Amino acid sequence: MNRRDYLLRKIFFSLVTLAVVVVLNFLLFRVLPGDPVRAVIGRNVRISADTQQALREQFGLDRPVFPDQFLTALGQWARGNLGVSWSLRKPVSEVLLAKLGNTLLLIGLGQILSIILGVALGLLAGWKRKTAVDVGALTFSLIAWAIPTFWLGIILLAAGSTWLGLPTGGIVSPSNVGKPLYTVLPDVTHHLILPTLTLTILYMGEYMLIMRSSIMEVLGEDYILTAKAKGMSHWQVLRKHALKNAMLPIVTLIAINLGFTVSGAIYVETVFSYDGLGKMFQTALVKQDYPLLQGAFLLLAVSVILANFLADILYTYLDPRVKAS
Amino acid sequence: MTSTEPLLSLRHLSTEFSTTDGTVARALEDVSFDVHPGQTVGLVGESGCGKTTTLLSIMRLLPVTARITSGQVLFNGKDLLALSETDMRRYRWKELSIVFQGAMNALNPVMTIGEQIREAIILHDLMDKTHANRRVNELLDMVGIAPSRRDQYPHEYSGGMRQRAMIAMALACQPCLLFADEPTTALDVMVQAQILELLQKIQRLLGLAVVLVTHDLGVVAEVCDTVVVMYGGKVAENGPVDEVYNAPQHPYTQRLLEAFPDLNRPAGSLAVIPGTPPRLNALPPGCRFAPRCHKAFERCRVEAPAETDLGGGHTAACHLLEKAEAHQ
């Protein structure tokens, strides 16, 4: 099978997955308990039945769920219209876009750092297996992987703000609110240190563990012995023969993690009051803002599908066997 | 026997493995044999008798759990075991190269065949990239693979082709000694024959010395000049193929040959050696073959036999032969 056929097949399956997700995304919020209109009006019981009915009509909730509501929703989504947030009274897509940038900044930094550090540490541990380096790295990674996100966040927040004087939350200082982020970079960096550190430690453990077992498996392969028999040094063997093979599981892991980037920061953003998608998610859930949640779910699903598709493409360059299977 | 100095000479080589349960497996003990220039030596024995360990000890490619405890590996008179790791790397592939068993896993799945061959040439600084590319084509051509297939990956080759590519790779730096570790395992019979034929052709063409590890006694008879029979990490018998096959002296060799089908007596039933090879971390105190030997007597169970020189380069380690020698 050539690359084109392979990609076409992958695109097809991605689209099928997307279709299933869209249907589920619609259904999920229709079977949830609670009356959306009550959520909007809150505790104000004086709103008349007529007004409530008018609200239902405005949101299209008076019509049957299927096919009317479903088809309307589908048509809107297809045009990029994700509806209007009930709590913020703004288009969902606008809200999501505004928060996405902040989250990408935080998670992007955290991912890049944890990939570099985790892979390097895993490589070192797997190479120097059963030494003090290996045991130390393994212990650190297992702890890092097992720690609850919010707990680590709170500890770092307390320690960092007390002893290092780092800001406790937010993305910029109050005096800089409203200015474009790139104009206040030192301030932003200051704010990013603690949440980024939290994310880096958390993800690093996972990357390290996978890389360690992957490199150990690869180093036991016959072709590694062949490479050594050719007269290569340990370093040459590692770089030219082991690394590419050992990176394959990491690529999958990166794809999965990037997909969850959108939602992955819920705890960290909440602990550090960071104005991103994760925090928005939490707020939307508390306020039962269904259109916003629905939009966020859709964004999450699409990014997971997209990340996996990118990983599939990357695989064709990393592993020549993929196309054949 | 050739009168020249041996190209490779193993002197009393012993290798140990430390096992996970804390015991020590004496994988090789007191292994000695010579390989002369241009000669083909067969290394035979049951699985786990130390054939591959012998090759890996010579190349110094043993896993970290293994340790060479004593002995010498003289290559052109120089002890390879005394070299630094950096110096040893210069010997690998350039002087001694190896064709591993099961070429599927011996080739890197994410690297093209051509690149894997060229890499060795570049590594040893033998020529620049242009010449190295030409050399890769020549090598592939020599083993019967169209040079146009150099940019393909191992999974695009058949089993036989992979083994051919592996042979081409082993020849890349023009070594004078080639180890072939069960090069025909996992190939079908026709392909096995082709690979052996190729090895023989190349050996004659390049004047290589070859050490062929196999448990196929027929292959040894066909291809080899001398044969080293190993049992439980020791050399049981060593000598010219004709002599060893026609007049085997060690009871193990005798039984091994009887256990092998012979076209000259097709109706005869094959002999079976009862029992299993010894576990290397729980070796019998005397001769390692004694528990399975049909000729064993008391002394065999307490004392390990020394190698007896039977003349003409033929040696065997058996108490029965020592007695015969003493009677003379």
Look at A175 and B170; give whichever has higher pLDDT.
Answer: B170
Chain B residues within an 8 Å CB radius of A245: 108-110
- A295-324 per-residue burial string, b: 16 or more CB within 10 A, e: under 16: bbbbbbbbbbbebbbebbebbbeebbbbbe
Residue of A nearest to B106 (CA): A223
Q: Is the pLDDT of residue B192 over 50?
A: yes
- pLDDT by residue (tens digit) across A7-43? 899 899 999 999 999 888 888 877 777 666 766 666 6
- pLDDT by residue (tens digit) across A47-84? 777 887 887 777 777 777 778 888 888 888 888 888 88
Task: Please report which helix (H) or strand (E) contains residue B9, including its range.
Answer: strand B8-18
Chain B residues within an 8 Å CB radius of A321: 109-110, 153, 155
Amino acid sitting at position A179: K
Taking an 8 Å cut-off on Cβ atoms, the answer to whether B110 and A228 are in contact is no
Chain B residues within an 8 Å CB radius of A241: 108, 111
Look at A320 and B55; give whichever has higher pLDDT.
Answer: B55
- pLDDT by residue (tens digit) across B311-322? 888 999 999 988
Q: Residue B209: inside a domain, yes or no? A: yes
Q: Residue B104: inside a domain, yes or no? A: no
Residue of A nearest to B123 (CA): A232
| Residue length of chain B | 328
A86/B206 Cα distance (integer angstroms)? 83
Residue A45, pLDDT score:
66
- Answer yes or no: do B151 and B69 share one domain: no
Residue A173, pLDDT score:
80
A113/A119 Cα distance (integer angstroms)? 10
Q: Is the pLDDT of residue A325 over 60?
A: no
Helices assigned H by DSSP within chain A:
3-31, 36-41, 49-59, 70-78, 92-127, 132-146, 149-163, 185-219, 222-229, 234-237, 243-259, 261-264, 266-271, 277-286, 290-318
- Answer yes or no: do B181 and B135 share one domain: no
Question: Of B136, B157, B174, which residue is a domain's last?
Answer: B174
- Answer yes or no: do B229 and B318 share one domain: yes
Taking an 8 Å cut-off on Cβ atoms, the answer to whether A231 and B124 are in contact is yes
Chain B residues within an 8 Å CB radius of A228: 61, 92
Size of interface A-B (CB pairs under 8 A): 69
CATH for B239: 3.40.50.300
- pLDDT by residue (tens digit) across B97-138? 999 876 668 999 999 999 999 999 999 988 899 999 999 999
DSSP-derived secondary structure letter, B176 = S
What is the overall mean pLDDT for chain B? 89
Which segment of A31-40, A68-77, A160-169, B206-215 scores lowest on mean pLDDT? A31-40
Q: Is the pLDDT of residue B185 over 60?
A: yes
- pLDDT by residue (tens digit) across A210-260? 999 999 999 999 999 999 999 999 999 999 999 989 998 898 888 888 776
Whether B284 contacts B290, CB under 8 Å: yes
Residue B116, pLDDT score:
95
| Residue length of chain A | 325
The share of chain A scoring above pLDDT 70, in percent, equals 94
DSSP class per residue in B10-75: EEEEEEEEE-TTS-EEEEEEEEEEEE-TT-EEEEE-STTSSHHHHHHHHHT---TTEEEEEEEEEE
B94 touches chain A (CB under 8 A): yes
- Kindly state the average pLDDT of the residues B188-208: 90
- pLDDT by residue (tens digit) across B40-49? 999 998 888 8
Residue B82, pLDDT score:
94
Pairing, β B209-214 against β B177-181: parallel
Whether B317 contacts B236, CB under 8 Å: yes
Report residue A299 as tokens: 């964004």
Residue of B nearest to A316 (CA): B110
Q: Is the pLDDT of residue B80 over 90?
A: yes
- pLDDT by residue (tens digit) across A248-296? 889 888 888 877 666 657 888 889 988 888 888 888 888 878 888 888 8
Pairing, β B40-44 against β B209-214: parallel
- Answer yes or no: do B132 and B180 share one domain: no
- Kindly state the average pLDDT of the residues B232-246: 94
Looking at the complex, report in whole angstroms how far the Cα of residue A166 sits from the nearest Cα belonging to chain B. 47
Q: Is the pLDDT of residue B78 over 70?
A: yes
- Kindly state the average pLDDT of the residues A188-209: 91
- Answer yes or no: do B52 and B165 share one domain: no
The share of chain B scoring above pLDDT 70, in percent, equals 95
Question: Of B174, B190, B219, which residue is a domain's last?
Answer: B174
Taking the alpha carbons of B304, B310, B314, B320 in that order, is the dihedral positive or negative?
A: negative
A323/A184 Cα distance (integer angstroms)? 47
Residue of A nearest to B155 (CA): A321
B173/B122 Cα distance (integer angstroms)? 9
- B54-76 per-residue burial string, b: 16 or more CB within 10 A, e: under 16: bbbbbbbbbeeebebeebbbbbe
Residue of B nearest to A218 (CA): B108
Domain that holds residue B126: 109-174
Residue A169, pLDDT score:
81
Is 1.10.287.130 the CATH number for A92-324? no
Distance of CA B22 to the CA centre of its chain: 29
- Answer yes or no: do B61 and B142 share one domain: no
The residue among B94, B110, B118 with the most chain A CBs within 10 A of its CB, best to mutate, is B110
B300/B320 Cα distance (integer angstroms)? 9
Classified as helix, coil or strand, A277 is helix
- Answer yes or no: do B140 and B220 share one domain: no
B157 touches chain A (CB under 8 A): no
Nearest to B94 by CA among B56, B120, B133, B131: B120
Phi, psi of B227 (to 5 degrees): -130, 140
Q: Is the pLDDT of residue B21 over 90?
A: no
Q: Is the pLDDT of residue A203 over 80?
A: yes
Q: Residue B125: inside a domain, yes or no? A: yes
Pairing, β B315-316 against β B234-240: antiparallel
Residue holding tokens 């991605």? Answer: A14
Q: Is the pLDDT of residue B325 over 60?
A: no
Residue A170, pLDDT score:
80
- pLDDT by residue (tens digit) across A102-159? 888 898 899 999 999 999 999 999 988 888 999 999 999 999 989 998 899 999 999 9
Residue range(s) in chain A whose domain bears CATH number 1.10.3720.10: 92-324
Our count of domains for chain B comes to 2
Residue A125, pLDDT score:
93
Look at B76 and A165; give whichever has higher pLDDT.
Answer: B76
DSSP-derived secondary structure letter, A68 = I
- Kindly state the average pLDDT of the residues B248-268: 82
